[in-house]
Amino acid sequence: MFRWLLLFILVVPALEIGVLIWTGNLIGPLWVILLIILTGVIGAWLAKKQGLETIRNFQQSVQFGQMPQDTLLDGACILVGGAVLLTPGFITDAIGFLLLLPATRFPIKHFLRNAIQRAMQKGTITIYRK
């Protein structure tokens, strides 16, 4: 896991710099700066909207005595997506929007749910119930 994280920390910023330079040469540095600001503003608005909706769904699930499993994965995806959108760059913005949009978040949640179940079966994750 640490190797993947280290690779991610080294490779993504290098790719972002390359894409920003390439885009700056293509459309100009001012437009790149404006696009970065625009994606940040749109991403913050979308994260707030999706976050509030997820909080309402969580409260509704708890109110009806249901386990909010899907809502918790939604919340995690929205949190990571919003944080990634604050990082300047087009690659991280694409990842952030994928995590924030409900249609694209669904397959990611499915993958995460399966990964968590596999980890629980292996014994690398333990969930204690009261």
Give the position of tokens 């919003």: 82
- Domain definitions of the chain by residue range: 14-121
Q: Which residues of 3-39 are buried (b: 16+ CB within 10 A; e: fewer)?
A: eeeeeeeeebeeebeeebeebeeeeeeeebeebbeeb
The one-digit pLDDT tens for each residue of the chain (130 residues) are 678 888 888 888 899 999 999 999 999 999 999 999 999 899 999 999 999 999 998 888 888 877 777 888 889 999 999 988 888 889 999 999 999 998 999 999 899 888 888 888 887 777 676 6
* Cα gap 82→60, rounded to integer Å: 23
pLDDT the model gives residue 57: 87
pTM exceeds 0.75 for this model: yes
